[in-house]
């Protein structure tokens, strides 16, 4: 149950509305934003006995990873997937009542670019599973397979650390990864993981992802596709958990201003003002920059946030007749507009529903939504012989889906120059690109910083 208090006064944390109480270790915390970062912070604090108040401006939780209903069909705000190495996200889903074995379709590492490339990991321990997969990859010749395996071994020897960050293109050129190898393996991987084209993407961040997903346990490279929508998967359960532990989750209650004082922070929304000992600002970077701008001590933080460029992600959902299906739940297309295709029939029993994902900047941004959908429909017909006409389609264009993950990016830390204001969000400092796991880790880090305090 999520507490919904649209026009009612916000909760009074103490009789005076100021400060915290003894049971809460003197902490009286508000979280601004009910996306994955904010709900991770709230759940982690609730688990440690600190009830929090979450303010969410939308009518539902989940932010960029939220469920969306269209034509009586449950969609997401863009098709997402998790990796087996998303340890904190999976831990928190279980903490708030999820069941990883039941909630997900788990696919062992398999990268298929339809008819052009196929890499399938055998049941061997990591990183052997990857090396064998690379040596057997279809669509590469022997010298390319060897080069790819040598690249991974060299990165491993260097502990996946570069002395100097550079673009992914530069790193690939340095290690003799030729055009075919790059087009079929590294480029699709980089765009899927970093949502940034290889000529702009940070090689170090890509190596962080390769290290965590491919080099440790075999299950880390599994791809996890939830049977339920992304609001139901975590944020909604986290809200129920927070409420059960004495906290509040306020929907449709956007924070308009943040004012800091020596003894706390005042938040104002349409419902009035409230005073807290600390706040975690867990909005998107654009909103965070606007809210934090008036706080003089945070001028540098705001400058770092404003310097982040953004990259888009487009998802085209197509509802075909129920019998239409793809050869497997998820596969890619080589040099097509549609980069990755998902068969929601095989993932979530939504038969006939397909999703085509187009990540990062590109020429597709110049197309109208109708033209983009028609291109995807034509590709599905050409590649799989799907001649049916979709009953409907829906294009979800997230123009500011993630930050552009370029080399040596200065990302703001969770702890700020204003001790009572913490920052959570996928764009804050961390090893990961803009992902659910990056968002969740940042939220958990904020919670732990406050608990340590």
Ligand X SMILES: Cc1cc2nc3c(=O)[nH]c(=O)nc-3n(C[C@H](O)[C@H](O)[C@H](O)COP(=O)(O)OP(=O)(O)OC[C@H]3O[C@@H](n4cnc5c(N)ncnc54)[C@H](O)[C@@H]3O)c2cc1C
Stretch near ligand X under the rule CB under 6 A, chosen from 1-9, 28-36, 204-212, 412-420: 28-36
The residue within the footprint of ligand X, chosen from 283, 301, 338, 406 (CB under 6 A), is 283
Contact segment (CB under 6 A) with ligand X among 8-16, 74-82, 301-309, 366-374 equals 74-82
Q: Which two tokens stand for residue 309?
A: 């460029």
Distance CA 409, CA 404 (A): 9
Question: How many DSSP H helices and E strands does the chain contain?
Answer: 16, 20
- Closest to ligand X by CB, 38 or 51: 38
Distance CA 211, CA 48 (A): 31
- CB closer to ligand X, 333 vs 446: 446
Phi, psi values for residue 407, rounded to 5°: -65, 150
Q: According to the binding rule CB under 6 A, does residue 32 interact with ligand X?
A: yes
Tell me the closest approach of the beta carbon of residue 131 to ligand X, in angstroms: 25
| Whole-angstrom distance, CA of residue 277 vs CA of residue 234 | 27
Token code pair at residue 396: 């979800």
Under rule CB under 6 A, residue 33 binds ligand X: yes
Strand partners for 313 = 359, 398
Nearest to 428 by CA among 48, 144, 36: 36
Residue 434 touching ligand X (CB under 6 A): yes
Determine, following the binding rule CB under 6 A, whether residue 439 of this chain makes contact with ligand X. Answer: yes
Among 13, 38, 84, 332, binds ligand X (CB under 6 A): 38
Residue 448: both structure tokens together: 């732990």
Non-local CB neighbours of 16 within 8 Å, separated by 6+ positions? none
DSSP symbol at 200: T
The CA distance from 380 to 319, in Å, is 13
Query: Measured from the CB of residue 147, what is the shortest distance to ligand X in angstroms?
Result: 28
Mask 215-254, x = binds ligand X (CB under 6 A)?
---------------------------------------x
Q: Is 376 in the site for ligand X (CB under 6 A)?
A: no
Does residue 347 touch ligand X according to CB under 6 A?
no
Number of Cα atoms under 13 Å in the Cβ half of residue 306: 11
Beta carbons of 421 and 267 less than 8 angstroms apart: no
98 binds ligand X (CB under 6 A): no
Q: Where are the beta strands (DSSP E) in 34-173?
A: 52-55, 67-70, 73-76, 82-83, 104-107, 110-113, 117-120
Please pick, from the candidates 107, 265, 313, 356, the single residue that binds ligand X as defined by CB under 6 A: 313
Per CB under 6 A, the list member of 30, 81, 348, 444 interacting with ligand X is: 81
Is residue 167 part of the contact set for ligand X (CB under 6 A)? Answer: no
Q: What angle do CA 80, 221, 210 make, to 5 degrees?
A: 95
Q: Near ligand X by CB under 6 A, which window of 9-17, 57-65, 158-166, 374-382?
A: 57-65
Nearer residue to ligand X within complex by CB, 35 or 51 = 35
Q: Does 426 bind ligand X (CB under 6 A)?
A: yes
The residue within the footprint of ligand X, chosen from 247, 275, 435, 446 (CB under 6 A), is 435
Size of the residue set binding ligand X (CB under 6 A): 35
Contacts with 118 (C-beta within 8 Å, 6 or more apart), sequence order: 110, 111, 112, 137, 138, 139
Where are the alpha helices (H) located in 223-331, listed in sequence order?
A: 230-233, 235-244, 285-292, 299-306
Min CB(401)–ligand X separation in Å: 3
Measuring CA to CA, which residue among 413, 374, 402 is closest to residue 191? 402
Cβ–Cβ contacts within 10 Å for residue 18, how many? 17
Angle at 387 between CA 383 and CA 392, to 5 degrees: 105
Of residues 56 and 212, the one with the C-beta less far from ligand X: 56
Helix (H) or strand (E) holding 117: strand 117-120
- Taking the complex as a whole, the smallest distance from the CB of residue 15 to ligand X amounts, in Å, to 26
Regarding 119 and contact with ligand X (CB under 6 A), the answer is no
Nearest of 396, 344, 353 to residue 373 by alpha carbon:
396
In terms of CB distance, is 126 or 434 closer to ligand X? 434
Verify binding: residue 55, ligand X, rule CB under 6 A. yes
Identify which range of 303-311, 404-412, 413-421, 432-440 contacts ligand X by CB under 6 A.
432-440
Q: Which is nearer to ligand X, 148 or 279 (CB)?
A: 279
Considering only the stretches 27-35, 129-137, 148-156, 303-311, report the one whose residues sit in contact with ligand X under the rule CB under 6 A. Answer: 27-35
Stretch that binds ligand X, among 34-42, 148-156, 204-212, 332-340 (CB under 6 A): 34-42
User: Shortest gap between Cβ of 195 and ligand X (angstroms)?
Assistant: 7
DSSP secondary structure, 361-398, as one string: SSGGGGS-HHHHHHHHHHHHHHHH---SPPSEEEEEEE
**For ligand X, which residue of 287, 358, 372, 395 counts as binding (CB under 6 A)?**
287
Residue ranges in contact with ligand X by CB under 6 A: 32-38, 55-58, 63-65, 78, 80-81, 254-255, 282-284, 287, 313, 315, 398, 401-402, 425-426, 434-437, 439
């Amino acid at each position: 149950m999520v507490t919904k208090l649209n026009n009612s006064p916000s909760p009074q944390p103490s009789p005076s509305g100021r400060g915290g109480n003894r049971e809460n270790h003197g902490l009286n915390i508000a979280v601004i934003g009910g996306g994955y970062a904010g709900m991770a912070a709230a759940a982690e604090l609730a688990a440690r006995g600190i009830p929090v108040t979450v303010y969410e401006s939308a009518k539902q939780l989940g932010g960029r990873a939220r469920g969306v209903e269209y034509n009586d069909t449950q969609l997401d705000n863009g098709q997402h997937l998790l990796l087996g190495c998303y340890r904190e996200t999976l831990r928190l889903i279980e903490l708030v009542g999820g069941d990883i074995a039941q909630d997900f379709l788990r696919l062992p590492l398999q990268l298929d670019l339809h008819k052009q490339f196929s890499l399938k990991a055998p049941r061997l321990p990591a990183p052997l599973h990857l090396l064998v997969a690379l040596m057997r990859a279809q669509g590469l010749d022997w010298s390319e397979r060897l080069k790819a395996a040598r690249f991974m071994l060299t990165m491993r020897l260097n502990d996946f650390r570069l002395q100097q960050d550079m673009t992914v293109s530069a790193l690939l050129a340095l290690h003799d990864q030729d055009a075919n190898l790059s087009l079929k393996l590294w480029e699709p991987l980089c765009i899927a993981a970093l949502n940034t084209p290889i000529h702009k993407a940070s090689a170090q961040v890509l190596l962080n992802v390769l290290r965590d997903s491919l080099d440790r346990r075999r299950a880390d490279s599994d791809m996890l596709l939830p049977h339920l929508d992304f609001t139901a998967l975590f944020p909604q359960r986290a809200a129920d958990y927070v409420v059960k532990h004495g906290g509040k989750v306020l929907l449709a209650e956007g924070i308009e201003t943040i004012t800091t004082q020596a003894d706390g922070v005042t938040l104002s929304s349409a419902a009035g003002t409230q005073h807290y000992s600390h706040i975690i600002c867990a909005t998107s970077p654009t909103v965070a920059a606007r809210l934090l701008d008036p706080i003089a001590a945070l001028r540098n933080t705001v400058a770092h946030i404003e310097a982040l460029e953004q990259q888009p992600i487009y998802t085209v959902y197509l509802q075909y007749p129920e019998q239409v299906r793809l050869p497997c739940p998820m596969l890619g297309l080589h040099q097509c507009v549609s980069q990755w295709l998902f068969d929601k029939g095989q993932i979530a029993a939504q038969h006939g529903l397909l999703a085509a994902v187009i990540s990062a900047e590109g020429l597709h941004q110049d197309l109208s939504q109708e033209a983009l959908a028609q291109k995807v429909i034509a590709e599905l017909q050409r590649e799989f012989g799907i001649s049916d006409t979709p009953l409907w389609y829906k294009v979800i264009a997230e123009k500011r889906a993630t930050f552009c993950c370029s080399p040596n990016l200065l990302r703001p830390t969770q702890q700020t120059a204003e001790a009572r204001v913490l920052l959570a969000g996928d764009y804050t400092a961390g090893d990961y690109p803009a992902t659910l796991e990056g968002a969740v880790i940042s939220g958990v880090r904020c919670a732990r910083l406050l608990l340590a305090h």
